[in-house]
Amino acid sequence: MPEPLLRTPSAQQVESWYVDSFEDMLKFQRASPESHILKQFSEAMDIILNRHSTVVETMANGVLEMKQDLQESGDIGPHVENCIQYFLDRFYMNRISIRMLIHQHLLLFTKQSSRKKNKQTIELIDTNCDIQSIVEDAYENARFLCEQYYSRAPDCAIECHSPFNVDGAQNGRITMTYVPSHLHHIMFELMKNALRAVIETHSTKIELPKVEVLICKGRKDMTIKLSDQGGGIRRSEVDQLFNYMYSTAPQPPSPDAADTTPIAGYGYGLPLSRLYAKYFNGNLWLNSVDGFGTDAMVCLKLLPRDASELLPVYNKTCLNKYIQSTQVNDWSDSSHGFGSKSNTNGYRM
């Protein structure tokens, strides 16, 4: 972990949780697979899962603490920001993977899941995941939150399109194999951003422009496009929206002091949503028209052979990312252009 972040109380709290969880797991390193031992292991996994439930908010608070410290000392710079971005991308991608494994274990090997078993559902993984239902649910949740803050919310119009695979649409619904909780997280964050932007841009209007969603199932990709008329984003700011140290909203209260879920403020919605999309080799990006609105594009892999898990690699090269200063890129460097296939975060599949 970068030293400026490690010094913050919140980051030290997160580190202590991981130390405790690691010690809990070591107890089972050479344990025999007897029924009572397996039960104890599942109970330990459940404790670990709950212990780390607020890691994102606590680490976000650590970044805010670090920013305050660095701004006071004047040490904040591009290299520090790049280090934090590199570390948090890898840290949160690992967290997504670990929590999925623990959830999957608990659902498969304990009686924690009370819902009816379905042949098309392998616990967390739904082989018949209804994309429109998840988008609708994410909208309703975001709308509820938006109405709490602004007393109203724009409507949402959803269109489905499946030109190449008629079997992919059942009764007009488009399905695929995916983890519903991951997709819900992505769409909920995008919906929150869209609703907030529309209301703040058209606050004086009686009728708000709708948020429009297009769901399209192609031959190899599932694409979800969410379009709003929220005023758009300047081109110079689009890339910053995926930066953990950048947010356009007021700073939220600390996780311990918050009575309600903040609609925005940590600056983690888009970066984390992109990681969830990338976890199975998908992606998320923004196209914006400054002065009009923004299109958020989510692309997911349909074919299992393309949807492999994406995880960080840990080796000496990673350490160099924290030591080397930021390099100035030449305009002709294709590795930093659109459509680049370069791997700057040290991920592996």
Distance CA 14, CA 8 (A): 10
**Annotated catalytic residue, options 182, 185, 217, 301:** 185
Distance CA 134, CA 140 (A): 10
Distance CA 93, CA 312 (A): 7
Identify whether 119 is a catalytic site residue.
no
Distance CA 207, CA 143 (A): 15
Identify whether 336 is a catalytic site residue.
no
Give how far Cα 87 sits from Cα of 5, 18, 118, 197, 314, Å. 10, 16, 38, 29, 11
**CA atoms lying within 13 Å on the CB side of residue 347:** 24
Measured on CA atoms in the order 249, 252, 255, 260, is the torsion positive or negative?
negative
Distance CA 227, CA 225 (A): 6
**Annotated catalytic residue, options 192, 212, 217, 301:** 192
Tracing tokens 């700057």 back to the chain, one arrives at 344
Cα 183 from chain centre: 9
Single-letter amino acid code for the residue at 208: L
Identify whether 193 is a catalytic site residue.
yes
**Annotated catalytic residue, options 61, 65, 193, 217:** 193
**Annotated catalytic residue, options 57, 65, 189, 212:** 189
Distance CA 204, CA 200 (A): 9
Identify whether 82 is a catalytic site residue.
no
- Strands 173-178 and 125-130 come out as antiparallel
Task: Supply the residues annotated as catalytic.
Answer: 185, 189, 192-193
